[in-house]
Amino acid sequence: MRILYVSAALPPTEVPEADLALRQCLHLAEAGHDVHVLTTEAHGDVELPGVTVHPIARTWGWSDAPRIWRLLRAVRPDGLLIYFLGTLYNYKAFPTVLPILGRLVGATPVTEFSNLGSGGDESAKLRRLVFRLLGPFRYGALLPVSRRLVVLSDLHRRRLGEISRRAADKAVIVPAPSLLHEASDPREARRRRRAELGLDDGVPLVAFIGRLYPGKGIEELVAALSEIRATHPQAKLVLIGGALSPEHYWITHGDYGAHIDDVIAAAGVRDAVVRTGEFDWHDPRPSEFLYAADVCVLPLEAGVYLYNSSLAAAASHGLPLVVSQGQVPEEALVHGDNAYILDDRAPGTIADAVVDVLGDPELSARLRRGAAGLAETWFSWESAVAKLEDALAGGSA
Four-point Cα dihedral 251, 224, 316, 159, nearest 10: -40
- 248 with 285: CB under 8 angstroms? no
**Using 50, 70 and 90 to split pLDDT, how confident is the model at 165?**
confident
* β partners of residue 5: 37, 81
- 234 with 271: CB under 8 angstroms? no
Annotate 78-119 with three-state secondary structure: CEEEEEECHHHHCCCCHHHHHHHHHHHCCCEEEEEECCCCCC
**Using 50, 70 and 90 to split pLDDT, how confident is the model at 121?**
very low
For residues 364-387, give the mean pLDDT: 96
- 340 with 297: CB under 8 angstroms? no
Say what the pTM is. 0.86
Q: Cis check for the bond before 246: say yes or no (omega within 30 of 0).
A: no
Straight-line distance from the first to the last Cα atom of the chain, in angstroms, rounded to the nearest whole number = 19
- What domains are there in the chain, each with its CATH number? 2-177+380-392 (3.40.50.2000), 186-378 (3.40.50.2000)
**Using 50, 70 and 90 to split pLDDT, how confident is the model at 361?**
very high
At 102-114, the pLDDT tens digits run: 999 999 999 999 8
Average pLDDT over the chain reads 90
Distance separating alpha carbons of residues 347 and 313, to the nearest angstrom: 23
**Using 50, 70 and 90 to split pLDDT, how confident is the model at 127?**
very low
Q: Does the pLDDT at position 94 exceed 70?
A: yes
At 48-78, the pLDDT tens digits run: 899 999 999 999 999 999 999 999 999 999 9
For residues 152-180, give the mean pLDDT: 90
What phi-psi label fits residue 203: left (phi over 0), alpha (psi between -120 and 50 degrees) or beta?
A: beta
Neighbouring residues of 113: CB distance < 8 A, sequence distance ≥ 6: 84, 85, 149, 150, 151, 152, 156, 160
Other CB atoms within 10 A of residue 158 CB:
17
For residues 21-31, give the mean pLDDT: 96
For residues 163-192, give the mean pLDDT: 92
At 275-290, the pLDDT tens digits run: 998 888 789 999 999 9
- Going through 242-299 in order, the beta strands assigned E by DSSP cover 273-275, 295-298
